[in-house]
Structure 1
Amino acid sequence: MPQTNRQIVLDQIPQGKLSPEHFKLVATDAPAPAEGEALVRTRYISLDAANRAWMQGATYRSALSSGQVMAGGAIAEVVESRDPSLAPGDLVSGDIGWQDYAAVLARRLQKLPRLEPVTHLMSVFGVAGLTAYFGLLECGQPKPGETVVVSAAAGSVGSIVGQIAKLKGCRVVGIAGGKAKCEWLKAELGFDEALDYKSGELKRAMREALPSGIDVYFDNVGGDIFEACLFAMNAHGRIACCGAVSQYDGPPPAHGPRGIPGLIVTKRLRLRGFIVSDFDAQREAALKDLQGWVADGRLKVQEDIVEGLENTPAALIGLLAGENRGKRMVKVR
């Protein structure tokens, strides 16, 4: 008897702000796996700002189109396999999409270890943790005593970036939205300072909090915050460009950051864009570090879990509005 497969479809490509009306919940039969494929049942869906960017055009993956099952990374369990590398019961991750079941080529799935809580495989030991690790340490290359600034500091990546920077002996300043998030960053995660970009006084707050400038800036947002940090960079500063969430949901900005060519030259800045798969060869070493820091309590894990596949669109919209602390995901079943 075929299992019912609920799917969330991108019904319309948004032209402005993302809203629930852009999605549609449909039901069909679960697919049968072909040779070389595995049928998987989704357990947790990752929510990321990149989900919104994929609606705008091709990035490091092809653009989404209307009528398509909404794409997204997920943790899933193998139900049936027609490839010798996987067996029923195996836990895997991959681009499975917003649905209960999917038939996926086994070579496009990554087999995961069994550990508890399983959600850590999506947060600190998944893309979020590895993005923070490589973006900061490989692209930012912080040195003890330097000042590191991270935007979207209360989010899945930023909250880990700041903690790793502290572990490496840096002074850490986070930029986040709202007084409560800023207090949490300092009181719970050990940030030296946290600045509320919603206060309307970010530039003044930056002058007070950063009298010696910025050595490393980890950028998750782009836009005005990127511009403000760019002008505060020290000579030979490094900028790790991870994302630009401020520009994903809504009309394009009226202008780009001003003065970039002159600043880059005169301050000899290094800007590096990256995605986590650039560092696949170093993955195991990074995981060993992350697992050790979590085990000894030096790296705190914050997860924001929303229940129910049907709530995935609202959960993504909320993430884009900055509702979450730490890694947001949806528990499907």
Structure 2
Amino acid sequence: MYQDKVEALKSEISKAEANTKEELEAYRMRFISKKSVIGDLFSAMKEIPNDQKREFGQLVNSVKQLAEEKFKELIETVNAKTQKAKSSDIDLTLPPTNVEVGGIHPLTATKQRIIEIFERIGFNLSEGPEIEDDWHNFTALNFPENHPAREMQDTFFIEKNPDIALRTHTSSVQVRVMENQKPPIRTLSPGRVFRNEAISARAHCIFHQVEGLYVDENVGFADLKQTLYHFAKEMFGKETKVRFRPSYFPFTEPSAEIDISCLLCKGKGCNICKGTGWVEIGGAGMVDPNVLENCGIDNQKYTGFAFGMGIERIAMLKYQIKDLRLFTENDIRFLKQFKPLL
């Protein structure tokens, strides 16, 4: 009785065909799955007399093996037909589809170019947290207790902890580097910073800075000037002129603001440079000895210089952009103009 059933199943399996995935799945459900006809045969094992179980088991195993081998053949057949169908759907005579490629954001392109310039003269990159404590953001940098930057109208403080704030500059990263690394130090710290300012065409509460630091023996102001001369001419062109104006910063002494000749009017005077022919790009100076001491560096042996620039300001000058807000509005019409930056 069971021999006839097994032989009938073998005949059915040998004649089985499958041209689609649906037919392949139907075969699997009938012959391979746990609830298949072969599975039913295994379940009937308990009804077979003990002296016939061995012979019955061999019969059922033979049909199971045949079903599995046939299943593998059908899989190959269906895959081959599917691949052939896909190939036939492709019309090689059709013109190619124009894929629109995106561009690098102008701020990203500007930051990458700045990093490239300074890396070539030995600066390495350093990063730090955007949420800083008072020590790294203010105190270690020689900010007096009554400095305006410590007031709520200039800085975003964490409400539940007045000693924690969103960093106002990436100088805090430089403090962390000096605390954990011995001179010589030559590092560049790009990153996002936050200040409590009204958003306008020339100001934003969130912007990007890049700050540089060089600490070693016998570092002088001439080293600072030559470094920034090199940067300005690499970034804006060899015809660019640079000037330094005396200024004040708590963490540098002496301090200076850096101007370059206006790229629009070539120094002749326009509304961008307010008729002066010069545009400010950042601040710089010799690291104050108190800052070195706060960071555990011998200020009798080592000196250093530091500088800082706004990446948005550099991008505005480089690409002649007049509204700072365009960088953060994600207007596709604006961003499409920078595809050549790829």
Structure showing the higher helix proportion among its residues? 2
**TM class, shorter-length:** under 0.3
Say which structure, 1 or 2, has more relative contact order (CA 8 Å, 6+ apart). 1
TM-score with structure 1 setting the length: 0.23
Q: Which of these two proteins has the greater Rg computed from alpha carbons? A: 2
Structure showing the higher strand proportion among its residues? 1
TM-score with structure 2 setting the length: 0.22
